[in-house]
Structure 1
Amino acid sequence: MTAQRLTVVIAAHNEALALPLLHPRLRAVLDGLDDIEGRVLYIDDGSGDATWSVMQALAAADPDVGVLRLSRNFGKEAALTAGLDFVDDGAVIILDADGQDPPELIPEFVALWQQGYDNVYGTRLARDGESWLKRSAAAAFYRVIGRLSKTPIPADTGDFRLLSPRALQALGQLRERHRFMKGLFGWVGFRRKALPYHRHARMVGDSKFGLWKLWNFALEGITGFSTAPLRVTTYLGLFTASVAFVFAVWVVAKAAMYGDRVAGWPTMMAAILFLGGVQLIALGLIGEYLGRLYEESKQRPLYLVDTWQPPIVADSAVHPIGGEQRDDHGTTAVGRQVP
């Protein structure tokens, strides 16, 4: 029986200390899988430390390891997209580089895939090594977007998941510039299955996602998969206009009956500031969506590739080392020959 191929995709940014600790664990898991041809693809998302050198060393020591270096830091979502684009056969496992998602669970993901599931996602039962504020904010975000979005986005679920070949192929057709991968995973549909697990603390180093980045990430998710904020703004505007109209009628009636003694400065300022604040909020929300349209209209590539070094065991005819135009994915790979 022909072995099924499984590629573990790991996007990293400044993770030179974590990767040497993660790879032996990952290698041991892949070696223990029966009838599975396991490979690893590391993506360097424009790191400023020795991450790329570490990846090259891992690839030199392990023929099942491929490495991909982007031309600069494009962000985690774009880096993941690049890694998934360069997998042309078999299923994929998406794994974080920091070791918080245990690779030892991969056999359980594979077992569910072999049962016929296309999207097996890890749902976090606990999150070690994170502050109470960060855990609370993450839990609130998943529940808010779950309510607002028509796309199924499971709560407490990150990128740690397995995608079957047909789910991976479907995901490759989604080329929007503002990418919220958790929403895109849910959008493609197919058979889904949750795998609960305990998320550990980072093996080494600090998280690259602070509260400010998480806030912007939440905005990307909500505005990318729901128009509910615009609708809420519409209702808020109607309510505010109704209150302002009633208030205007009351002011005119009061002046007609009792006269106007040039009073009401605090009331007038409160009304002006309230209405101005509502208008600015509405304009800000409209600007978020308009900005997304602006970015989409430019049709820039999602990423650019500096270096692509496939696994030694891979067929070099599929992705030759060096420059390659990848029109099928809507991206441009500008590479250079690996020394």
Structure 2
Amino acid sequence: MQATTPCGQPDLVSIVVPFFNEADGIELFQHTLRPILDSQPQLRFEVICVDDGSRDGTLDLLLALSRLDRRFRVIELSRNFGKEAALTAGIDAASGDAVIPIDADLQDPPELIAALIAEWRRGYDVVLARRVDRSADSYLKRTTASLFYKVHNQISTIKVPQDVGDYRLMSRAAIEALKQLPENQRFMKGLFAWVGFRSTTIDYVRHARSRGETKFSGWRLWNFAIDGVTSFSTAPLKVWTYIGGAGAALSLCYAAFIVLRTLILGVDVPGFASLLVAILFLGSLQLISIGVLGEYIGRIYLETKRRPTYIVRQRHGDEHEP
């Protein structure tokens, strides 16, 4: 049975795709995606392609694609703002009854779109796509990703589903709730989890990247993990209270030991090495604690500026109604 909106039109599904220097893979991406959209004639589709300040021919190819297929719309950002901002820009522009974020590298298979929509039809507001086989990723990436999920979910009240990326379906109600979250430093996986709603999960095998190279270096992934932890947990701040308390207790115990030993055995010459080690150790703890404080203060500083998450230079294809 064909689902329709209150005005009698078929439901609209928005697919949001961030692009950054993906010129080599755009042809394969559109050749893979378009037949999948054509196979769902009972629905209307819009594909929102967000060019995140690409420096190759990505934008020109996307514009050519939007002229070829009216379902494709292009949002051109004024510079590279990062994937989270580009994803936010696409979600803000999406007008569909359901929204599906997906990467352009085809590691997350578009063939799963029909299954995501089927679960949405059953009444779920959020349909998660979970990677059950990540052998296409390097061993280091799989290991560090698993460690991040475990650490994050252990210290945060908001649990991020393990091995679930941005690829998912969200209903209009979930999207409207997501758009109410005002922070500029955005960790989308955490924000997706924070809004809640009734959800289910579909498992899939992740493919190797179709073209090009990943834009996330080890350093960027590390900073991304720090953003994820500091966005949804104050545990790193609290732990230094306990470390400081434990250090103070040990210092008092050691001071009492020194006093008693001096009273009983007399004064001896303390070792220089042990004094140096103690000073360096405590100094290092202080620097680490200041660094943790700095991470949170830095986030406060950036948020208080209230700068926009992204700036759109131009929108292409908005005149095409889905």
What TM-score, normalized to structure 1?
A: 0.90
1:10 is aligned to 17
Q: Identity, % of aligned pairs?
A: 46
- Alpha-carbon deviation of 1:183? 0.4
Pick from 280, 283, 290 the counterpart of residue 273 of structure 1: 280
- The answer (yes or no) to whether the contact 1:30–1:38 under 8 Å persists in 2 is yes
- Counterparts of 1:246-265 in structure 2, within 5 Å, are 246-265=253-272
Separation (CA, whole Å) in 2 of partners of 1:270 and 1:251: 17
SS state of the match for residue 17, structure 1?
Answer: helix
2:200 is aligned to 193
1:115-161 deviation line (CA, Å, top 9, x unaligned):
11111111111124321111100111111111111113101110001
1:85 is aligned to 92
SS state of the match for residue 24, structure 2?
Answer: coil
In structure 2, the CA distance between the partners of 1:174 and 1:24, relative to structure 1 (3 Å rule), is same
Separation (CA, whole Å) in 1 of partners of 2:189 and 2:89: 16
1:55 is aligned to 62
SS state of the match for residue 158, structure 2?
Answer: coil
Within the alignment, does 1:119 sit opposite 2:126 as a pair?
yes
Separation (CA, whole Å) in 2 of partners of 1:137 and 1:9: 27
Separation (CA, whole Å) in 2 of partners of 1:169 and 1:274: 49
Separation (CA, whole Å) in 1 of partners of 2:239 and 2:124: 37
Q: Aligned AA for 1:298? A: K
Greater relative contact order structure (CA < 8 Å, 6+ sep): 2
SS state of the match for residue 6, structure 1?
Answer: strand
2:37 is aligned to 30
Separation (CA, whole Å) in 1 of partners of 2:80 and 2:236: 30
- The answer (yes or no) to whether the contact 2:14–2:95 under 8 Å persists in 1 is no
Within the alignment, does 1:75 sit opposite 2:86 as a pair?
no
- Alpha-carbon deviation of 1:258? 2.1
- Counterparts of 1:318-337 in structure 2, within 5 Å, are none
Unaligned runs of 5+ in 2: none
Unaligned runs of 5+ in 1: 316-339
Separation (CA, whole Å) in 2 of partners of 1:142 and 1:314: 40
- Counterparts of 1:123-142 in structure 2, within 5 Å, are 123-142=130-149
SS state of the match for residue 18, structure 1?
Answer: helix
Root mean square deviation of aligned Cα = 1.3
Separation (CA, whole Å) in 2 of partners of 1:53 and 1:251: 75
- Alpha-carbon deviation of 1:267? 1.5
1:174-201 deviation line (CA, Å, top 9, x unaligned):
1201100000001111111111111111
Separation (CA, whole Å) in 2 of partners of 1:231 and 1:263: 34
Q: Aligned AA for 1:301? A: P
SS state of the match for residue 242, structure 2?
Answer: helix
What TM-score, normalized to structure 2?
A: 0.95
The total of aligned residue pairs comes to: 315
SS state of the match for residue 16, structure 2?
Answer: strand
Within the alignment, does 1:216 sit opposite 2:223 as a pair?
yes
Separation (CA, whole Å) in 2 of partners of 1:46 and 1:253: 68
Separation (CA, whole Å) in 2 of partners of 1:89 and 1:158: 21
- Alpha-carbon deviation of 1:313? 2.9
- Alpha-carbon deviation of 1:312? 4.6
